[in-house]
Structure 1
């Protein structure tokens, strides 16, 4: 039976405003467990350990997180409040450096504080709650528009390959790369999706396959190194991926392995579409070489998914979380504001 995927609430604020409630994605697909985050440490840990993940969802979690932390600041004056607010902001910003949405959301929350310096602390805290809710609402609307824009490029019955998880679990609703898939499913397009497992954290196997199957989409899970095989067979007519940061020249950073998929798509003549909200565009970042790439613990490669260690003790491991896809491999960048084609002018989006 098909399930309305939006019934899964990835990130939300508790009714009393004291906690951020997230669906713990490290427990999927085995169990759907919601956890409550009450402190800056809780939020940082959840973001770093990928309990909440996906660039837009991280931004929403950070906005909610700094709001709940602002409620706990014991300050009678603006200066004391703002100083502590900045400490929490810098701490949360250190959890995942590559995704621009995290910093953008925190900066947006800071702007609320600085533009209402004449108000009382309780008034500022209430404005922070309203801003955090606005960030979530705007993301949901943006995701649907991204889906509509991309759907205009797709045809019923297409085979679509995706990498990592840029679906409902990564945002507030629908997703970025998977938004056109869900809209197409609602309209009878009958897409056939191939989901890369996405080593080493298996977001495709654990999350994309899970949510697409739950929504009744025709999804086939493949290992990352099978992408060329399914493309060669003619089973894929489009590739859709998300992004964590878009540089001013159109280079994009996304989950490790994305650039390899782009190279394969170019070889087989398959359009390669990058989907994301305009909040992922960083005009202060000139190109992909300027994007800071997070490097994670070697244990994610050597130990994490095995009953016993699957690599020799002491072996060196390189574990970058993201890679950069050069703009000349991208067919189009699709946002809520429209579709950009080469040569990319990010300022137009």
Structure 2
């Protein structure tokens, strides 16, 4: 063992001479020699079997050296300020029951984005932020530097990267070609963030979505889901009014044991319930296949995530349940009104039979009186 220690000491001394800089003064050399003897003693205590060199030590010995783990908690999204800085605001509006897309496209032909699918229920408009009205080279290459508006035939409009002060000017473009304008516009807010260094194609966050690449097809996909969601919210509110109306009728029947409703009013309620269901399925196209999502997997991922985020299928299930409740009440009231009509007809028949019997008795009495007089 003494032989190994001597060899180890010689190797360490040779290594120290090669690596250490030349001392500039005797005093410095004295300190270095002292430090060398101390390090030599400490290294000899840490020797391992059949090893002439000390084992390497990690440079992160404690929390103060390596840093706290909280630094890496927001590695993907950054701090709150950085997260909000890169967000593109998205605003969805439902302002009418129908929009003339052909007329709108003809009036804004220079802003229309060429479609990438055969869908005819929406158009996308792209507006430049430059003062000249024409996009610069940087703006042509970057989608996030422009403003977009996706308009749907059933009455929704989704705005991308538009400030609150400019919203009305964009909505006025839609109102010129809209019919059945609503007195109360419905609104929903969302946000998109583009992050090219993202490892996945997309990642969700609270009230926003992070995309690796933001292009016009992504804007169409996001706009379609938000437009359907805000339209579904409107139709759910309409069905809620029907449910409340039938609930009031049922409460009145509970107190009085009867109800008063004209047949015409009932037919209007039937038509309103059926039209709401037809609009959600046919016009809004809640279950229609998205050609953009069908064509490419990354768009399908965005589409499915947003539908799950907004609970589109679940909300339609709740709407369908409420419509079944309305349908059940309609059938019940129709039967009651039909029974009333049948009762009225029966009383009319009884009344006519009574008159006929009275006339028959009168004829018999008159004939019998005439015979007695003769």
Output the TM-score relative to the length of structure 1: 0.27
Higher helix share: 2
User: Which entry has the higher C-alpha Rg, 1 or 2?
Assistant: 2
Output the TM-score relative to the length of structure 2: 0.25
Higher relative contact order (CA 8 A, sep 6+): 1
